[in-house]
Structure 1
Amino acid sequence: MRKHAFAPRSRARSRRLRIVCIMAAFAAIFAGAFIRLAQLGMEEEAGRETRLPYDRAPGGRPAIVDRNGQLLATDIPIASLYIEPRSIPDLDEAVEKLTAIFPELDAGELHSRLRSKDAFTWIKRQIPPDKQQAVIDSGLAAVGFRPENQRLYPNGSLAAHILGAVDIDNFGIAGIEKWIDANWLADLRGAGLALKGRDLQPVELSIDLRVQYAMEQELGKAVTKFGAAAGAGLLLDVTNGEILALASYPAFDPNNPVDAFKPDRINRVTAGVFEMGSTFKALTTAMALESGRFDLESVVDASRPLSFGRQRIHDYRGKYRPLTVPEAFIHSSNIVMAKMAMTLGPEALRTFLGRFGVLSQLATELPESAAPLRPSSWSEVTTATVSFGHGIAVTPLQASMAVAALANGGRLIRPTFIKDSPVSERTIAESLLSANTSEAIRHLLRLNAAVGSATKADVPGYVIGGKTGTAEKVVQGRYSKVLNVTSFMGIVPADNPRYLLLTLLDEPRGLAETYGNRTSGWNAVPLGGALLHRILPMLLKPVFPSPSGAEAVPVATGEPSVDDSSSD
C-alpha cells in the first residue's frame, strides 16, 4: 500500500522536471538566436563603418596669413551628404527628391548607384547650408551628413600661385598648401593626430598682401593693354631672399582648384622657363669686371657684327662703333657682351653662371619648379649667344636670385615664401663678387634707368636701377621674328639695394603709342614703373633732392641718352 501512495507524487515531479528542461532548452535557443542576431548586427555595422571613407579625412589645416597677419586661407565647417542604398524604402522617390535639390546630378547615374544596395555612397560633397536644410525638409530616409572642413580663400584668386590649392578631402595639391602637408602636417596625421585648424599655429608667409594686390592689378592691366598672352611679376628682398609678391597671369581661384591645372595657369615665375634676354648682360658684365681684364673704362669694338659661319651676331639698333663698358651696357650691345665672354672663354662663363645658380634647378617651398634649359655644349658661338641671354632658358625666379646677388654684394640667397626663414640656412654662397664689382654693377643699373632703356621705370623720390631684356620666343623649335618675351629687372634704392622687381610679358604687341615697338622698354619697363609708383611708398620713404640741385648721375658715354627706350 505504501508503494502505491508515493507513485502519483513521483510522476508529478518527473513531469515538472521535463517541463523545466524544455523551457530551459527553448530559452537557450532563443538566447543563442538573440546573441547571433546581435553579432550579425554589430558585424554589419562594423562592415558599414569600414566602408565609409572616414579614414580619408585629414582633419584641419592651419590658417595661412601674410607677413602682416592678413588672412589668406582658413578652414570652415561644412557638411557632406551620403546615403545608405540598401536602406532606401523607395528608390524612385529618393532619386526624384535628390535631383530636385541637386539639379546637377544625373538621374540615371544616381538611380544606378542607389540600386546597387551598397552600404554607403556619397551623394554630394561639401554642400551649402541651404541645400542641407532642403534635404532635411524632404524627409528622405537613409541619408546622413558627415561634418568636414572646406578650405576657404577669402581673397579669391589673389596670391593663388603662391597659396596653391587643396583637393576635396582637404589635402594640399599645389603651392604652399602642398608644402605644408609635405613639411609637417602629414607627419601629424600619420601620428594619428586629427587636429582642428584652430589648434595649429598659422603659417606666416613673407608676402605683403598690399603689394601682392597692386602687382596683380597692374600686371592684369598691362597684359590687357599690350595684348600679351601672359605675364608675371615678382618683388624680392635682396637682403634676405624673402618674396613680398609673386604674380602670374592668367591666375586661378583656389576656391575652384580644378582651374589650377589648366596649362595656361602655370606659375610662370617658378615653373616656366624663358630666355631672359639682355637681363643676362648684367651677369656677363659682372664676370668681365670681376676677371680684372675689363673695367668701366675699357673700350670694345662694336663696329661690325660677329660672324660664325652663316650665323651673325649684331646689335639691335646698335651704334656700330667702339663702345665703353657703360655704353655697351646702356645700349645693350650683343657684340660687346659676346666679345667679353669669348675673351674669357666658355669655361669661365659656364663656371660663373653656375656659381650664381642659373644652371641648376632652384628649390623653394613651392613644389612647382622647372629645371633650366642649358646648352648641351659650350662652343665659341654658344658662349657668344649665352652672354646676352640667348640659347639658355631659366625660370624668372632663378634669374632674379642671380641679379639680386650682383646687387647685394655677392651673397647668393635661396628665395623663400616664409616670413623670418633663417637666412643663414638659405645662403648658397658668399662673396661671389668683390665690393668694387658689385658697386660697378649697381652704378650701371642706375645709369641705365637714368639715361638708358629703363627710363620709364624711374620714380620721383627713389633711386631706381634696372636692366631690360627682349628675347625672341621659341615656337615649335624655331625663333619667331614676330613674338617676343620682354622683361625688366629693377633694384631700389640703386645705391644701397633693398628690393628687386621683376616684370615679364609674354608676346606683347606693338601699339600706336609705342610706334609699333614691342621691346621691353616700351612695355615691361612701363609696367615696372607703374608698380614701383604704387608699392614703394608702402615700403620705403622717398628722398627728394635738395632745392639747390637735382641728383647728379655720372655718365661716361659721351652721349646724352639712348634712343628712347628702344635698346634692350
Structure 2
Amino acid sequence: MTHTRIEMTDIPAPEKTLKIEGSGKQALEQGRTRLLIAGSVFALAFSVIAARVIDVSVFERAEEPRLAEERGTLTHKTGRADIVDRNGMLLATTLNVPSLYADPKYIMNPMESATKLRTVLPELEHADLVAKFSDKKRFTWIKRSLTPRQQYAVNKLGIPGLYFQNESKRIYPQGQLTAHIVGRAGFDDVGLSGIEKSFDSMLRDGSDPLRLSIDIRIQHILREELQTQIDAFDGIGAAGIVMDVNTSEIVAMISLPDFDPNRRDRISDDAAFNRATLGVYEMGSTFKIFNTAMALDYGTTTLRNGYDASKPIRVARFTINDDHAKNRWLSVPEIFMYSSNIGSVKMAMDVGSDRQKSFMKKLGFLDSSAIELPERGRPLAPSPWRPINTMTISFGHGIAVSPIQLANGVASIVNGGVRHPATLLRRDTTEMLIGERVVSEKTSRAMRRLLRLVVEKGTGRNANAKGYLVGGKTGTAEKPGRGGGYQRKALLSSFVAAFPVNDPQYVVLAMVDEPKGNKSSYGYATGGWVAAPAVKRIVERAAPFLNVAPVDEEAPEIRRALMIKIPQTKGKKALASF
C-alpha cells in the first residue's frame, strides 16, 4: 500500500492569511481616506474660485476701480476726473476701451495677416502692418482705442499673435463745441491743451468733477451765430465771448475754426489755434470805449465838451482821418456815436501818454490774461510809448490784445468800474469778490449811456435787440501786413456789447476774421454790418437762458437812466449841455 505524505507547510496557516488580508484592507482604507481628503480640498478650492468669479463678474463692476475706505470715508480715487459745465453737463469723461497690439513672434505669415486685418481695419497701411508683424520686438501697438464692433471683427479673424489690452480713453461728449476750452488729453491721460492741460495734476488725482463757468446752451448759440456770419461773409475765422460782467465768469467762448477732440488725427494747426485767448489783435474802434472812459475819469473832458473834428490830423508822414467825416466840431457823445478818430486822438492827447499807459495797465492790456488756459497771447504794446502811439491807441491801432482781454475790459468799465480777472471756473456765489477799481461809478454810468447811444443812433443799430437794452461799440480794423503797413481788404470786424445796459449783466463780443462784403451789407464788411447783427441774435436767443427778461424800453425810469442830450453846436462852441 502506498502512503501519501502530506507536508504541513503547504497548507496556509490561518493566522498568516488573516494577517495578510488585514494589512491590505488597512492600506485600501487609507488610500480611500486620502482620496476623499484630496477631493474635498480640490472641491473646496474650486468652490472658492467659482464664488470669486461670480462675485467679480456679477456683483462687482469690474471695469471701475475699487475705492479704498478708511474709517467709513473714501480716502483715494483713481482715474481722470470728469469736467462739467456750470449746470453739471458732462464735457469730458474717461472710459475703458480695448487697444490692439501684436506679438510678432507668433505672427506666422506677416503678409497674409496684414491683408486679413485690413479687411476689418482698412485705415491701416498694409506695408506698415507687414513691417510691424515682421519686427523682432515682442510688443508693438497696432491700433489704439477700438470700438466694440472693431474688437469683435478682429477677434473673428482668428489671427495668432494679436491681442487686446484695455486702456482708459478720454471722451468729449460735446465734441467741437467746447474744443478750445476743455482742450484734450493724450493716450496716456496727460493733458495736452486747454483745461485738460492747465488742471492736469488735479484731474489725474481722480478728484470730484471740475465745474467750469460755461453754459453749454449759450455755447451752442454763440457757435451757431458766429458760423452763420462766417458763411454769410466768407470769413476765415471768428471768435466770440459771453461774460458775466459782475464776476467775469465766461459763460461761453468760441474760436472758429475748431476741431473735434475725439478725432485726434484730424486737427489742423489753424483749427487748434484759439483766436479768443491766444490770438492778439488790433481791435479798432472798440478801443474808443477805453479812450473815452479814460478821458472822462481823469477829468480832462466831460459829456458837455467837444473837439474840432473838421480837419484830418497830420503827424510826420501819417494822416489820421474819419471814415465818415462830419467835418465839424463834435461833442464828446458825437465823437463816440460817430466813431470819430480825430476826436478820439484829441481826447487822448489831453490825457497824455503816461496816464494813457497807466490806464491800459490797470485794464490788464499790458500783460497776458489770467484766464486758466495755457493758450494765452501776450499783448503787443509800444516801447517806448511815444505821442504817435498815444494817438493811434486812442482808436485801437498800435496795441494788440486778445478778445478775452477786450471783453474783460468792457465788463470792468460797465459794471460800476471794478475789474475782476476773467475766469473759466464757476465762482462760489457766497464768495466776496474783491476787484481793482479802474474807473469811478460816475464814469461807468456815463459809459453805459454812450454805449446805448451807439446802438440807438450810431454805428451799432444792427445790434438793437428789442427789449434787451443792448449798448455797444463797433470795431473795424485793418490787419497788419507781413512787410509792414496794413492790408486794406483784410479786416477784423467786431462788435462788443453789454446788456441790459441800464443794469449790465453780460458782455457779448463777436469778431469775424477777414469778412467780405455782400449784397445784404451793400458791399460793406465793417463791424456794424458783420458782427452787430450776430450780437443781436445771440442776445435774443441767450437772454431767456440767462434769466434776463425783456423790458419796456420806453419806461420812464429806463429813459432817465439812459438819457443823454447831445449838445447842439455852432462853430467851436457848444450851445446846449448834457
- Scaled to the shorter chain, the TM-score interval is 0.7 to 0.9
Matches of 2:554 and 2:340, distance apart in 1 = 35
TM-score (norm 2): 0.80
For structure 2, list consecutive stretches of 5 or more residues without a partner in the other structure. 1-76, 569-578
2: distance between equivalents of 1:512 and 1:231?
21
CA distance in 2, matches of 1:503, 1:423: 31
The match for 1:543 among 527, 543, 551 is 551
2:457 is the alignment partner of 1:451:
yes
Q: 1:423 to 1:414 in 2, by over 3 A?
A: farther
Q: Contact 2:98–2:165 (CA<8 Å) still a contact in 1?
A: yes
Q: Offset at 1:325?
A: 0.7
Cα drift, residue 504 of structure 1: 0.3
- The 5-angstrom pairing of residues 40-55 of structure 1 reads none
Distance 1:536 1:527, change over 3 A: same
Q: Which residue of 1 aligns with 2:513?
A: 506
Counterpart in the other structure of 1:17: none
- Number of the residue aligned with 2:448: 442
Question: What is the Cα deviation at residue 224 of structure 1?
Answer: 0.4
Partner residue in 2 for 1:332: 339
Deviation string 1:535-555 (CA, Å, 9 cap, x unpaired) is 112211111257899957534
The match for 1:31 is none
Does residue 208 of structure 2 align to residue 201 of structure 1? yes
- How far apart are residue 261 of structure 1 and its match? 4.7
Q: Pick from 187, 195, 203 the counterpart of residue 185 of structure 1.
A: 203
Question: In the alignment, is residue 219 of structure 1 matched against residue 232 of structure 2?
Answer: no
In 2 relative to 1, CA 391–500 (structure 1 residues): closer, same or farther, beyond 3 Å? Answer: same
CA 1:294/1:259 → structure 2, altered by over 3 Å: closer, same or farther? farther
Distance 1:516 1:272, change over 3 A: same
> 2:32 corresponds to which residue?
none
| Aligned-partner SS, 2:412 | helix
Q: Which moved more, 1:146-155 or 1:400-409?
A: 146-155
* % identity of equivalent residues: 40
1:321 is displaced (CA, Å) by 1.0
Matched, 1:554 2:563: yes
Q: What SS class does the counterpart of residue 404 from structure 1 fall into?
A: helix
Asked if structure 1 preserves the Cα contact closer than 8 Å seen for 2:300 and 2:350, the reply is no
Contact 1:290/1:434, CA 8 A, preserved across alignment = yes
Q: Among residues 123, 129, 133, which one is paired with 2:142 in the alignment?
A: 123
Quote the Cα distance in structure 1 between the aligned partners of 2:131 and 2:352: 71
In the superposition, relative to structure 1, how do residues 457 and 103 fare at CA in structure 2: closer, same or farther (>3 Å)? same
Note closer, same or farther for the CA distance 1:424–1:277 as it changes in structure 2 (3 Å cut).
farther
Give the aligned residue type for 1:201. Answer: D
Deviates more, 1:529-538 or 1:544-553: 544-553
What is the CA–CA distance in structure 2 between the aligned matches of 1:185 and 1:300, rounded to whole Å? 56
Determine helix, strand or coil for the equivalent of 2:533: helix
Q: Look up the equivalent residue of 1:139 and give its one-letter code.
A: G
* Cα separation, partners in 2 of 1:260 and 1:203, compared to 1, 3 Å: farther
State the distance in 1 between where 2:287 and 2:554 align: 35
Q: Which has the larger radius of gyration?
A: 2
1:263 Cα deviation (Å)? 2.3
Instruction: Kindly report which structure 2 residues correspond to 1:381-530, keeping only aligned pairs within 5 A, or say none.
Output: 381-420=388-427, 429-476=435-482, 477-530=484-537
The aligned counterpart of 1:533 is 540
Kept in 2, the 8 Å contact 1:406–1:433? The answer is yes
Question: What is the total number of aligned residue pairs between the two structures?
Answer: 490
* Secondary structure of the corresponding residue to residue 159 of structure 1: helix
Stretch of structure 1 that moved more, 87-96 or 520-529: 87-96
Output the CA distance in 2 between the equivalents of 1:356 and 1:550: 29
Query: 2 CA distance for matches of 1:522 and 1:278?
Result: 14
Q: Residues 89 and 430 from structure 1, CA distance in 2 versus in 1: closer, same or farther, beyond 3 angstroms? A: same
Distance in 1 (CA, whole Å) between partners of 2:135 and 2:462 is: 68
Contact 1:241–1:423 (8 Å) recurs in 2: no
The letter for the 2-side match of 1:433 is V
Quick check: 1:301–1:322 contact (8 Å CA) kept in 2? yes
String of CA shifts for 1:58-94, please: whole Å, max 9, x gaps: 9732222211112222222210011212233444443
Q: Which amino acid aligns with 2:479?
A: K
1:317 paired with 2:336, answer no
CA distance in 2, matches of 1:508, 1:105: 40
C-alpha deviation, 1:185, in angstroms: 3.3
> Match for 1:237 among 238, 244, 248?
244
Length-normalised TM-score, structure 1: 0.82
The CA deviation at 1:422 is: 8.0
Using the TM superposition, give the Cα deviation of residue 425 of structure 1 relative to its aligned residue in structure 2, in angstroms.
Answer: 9.3
Contact 2:502/2:558 (8 A) holds in 1: no
TM-superposed CA distance for 1:420, in Å, is 1.8
Q: Given the alignment, which residue of 143, 150, 157 partners 2:162? A: 143
Distance 2:410 2:513 in 1: 21
In structure 2, the CA distance between the partners of 1:93 and 1:484, relative to structure 1 (3 Å rule), is: closer
Name the CA shift for 1:481/1:423 in 2 (closer, same or farther; >3 Å). farther
Letter in 2 for 1:441: M
- Paired amino acid for 1:185: L
- Report the alpha carbon displacement of residue 558 of structure 1 after superposing the two structures with TM: 5.6
1:259·1:265 contact (CA, 8 Å) conserved in 2? no
The Cα of 1:379 is off from its aligned counterpart by 1.5
- The DSSP-based 3-state class of the residue aligned with 2:141 is strand
Give the Cα separation in 1 of the matches to 2:97 and 2:161: 20
Give 2:277's aligned residue: 270
Task: Find the counterpart in structure 2 of residue 249 from structure 1.
Answer: 256
Q: Distance in 2 between matches of 1:86 and 1:134?
A: 22
Opposite residue 81 of structure 1, the aligned amino acid is L
Query: Displacement, 1:328?
Result: 0.6
Q: Distance in 1 between matches of 2:265 and 2:295?
A: 48
Q: Could you give the per-residue CA deviations for residues 333-361 of structure 1, whole angstroms, max 9, x where no partner exists?
A: 11111111112211111111011101111
- For each residue in 1:152-180, what CA deviation from the matched residue of structure 2 results, as whole angstroms up to 9, or x when unmatched? 22222112111111223332211111122
> Structure 1 residues 224, 91: CA separation in 2 closer, same or farther (over 3 Å shift)?
closer
1:360 equivalent among 346, 361, 367: 367
SS state at 1:207 partner: coil
Indicate yes or no: 2:61 matched with 1:61.
Answer: no
Residue 126 of structure 1 aligns to a residue in which SS? coil
**Kept in 2: contact 1:59–1:149 (CA 8 A):** no
**Matches of 1:550 and 1:65 in 2, distance apart?**
38
1:173-204 residue CA offsets vs partner (Å, 9 max, x unmatched): 1111112214x235x3xxxxxx5xxxx42221
Distance change (3 Å), C-alpha of 1:307 and 1:93? closer
Whichever residue aligns with residue 339 of structure 2, its letter is S
Q: Alpha carbons of 1:88 and 1:518: their partners in 2 closer, same or farther (altered >3 Å)?
A: closer
For residues 483 and 78 of structure 1, do their structure 2 counterparts lie closer, same or farther at Cα, with a shift above 3 Å needed?
A: same
**Against the structure 1 CA distance between its residues 256 and 421, is the aligned structure 2 distance closer, same or farther, given a 3 Å change threshold?**
farther
Alpha-carbon offset, residue 423 of structure 1: 9.6
Contact 1:73 1:151 in 2 (8 A): yes
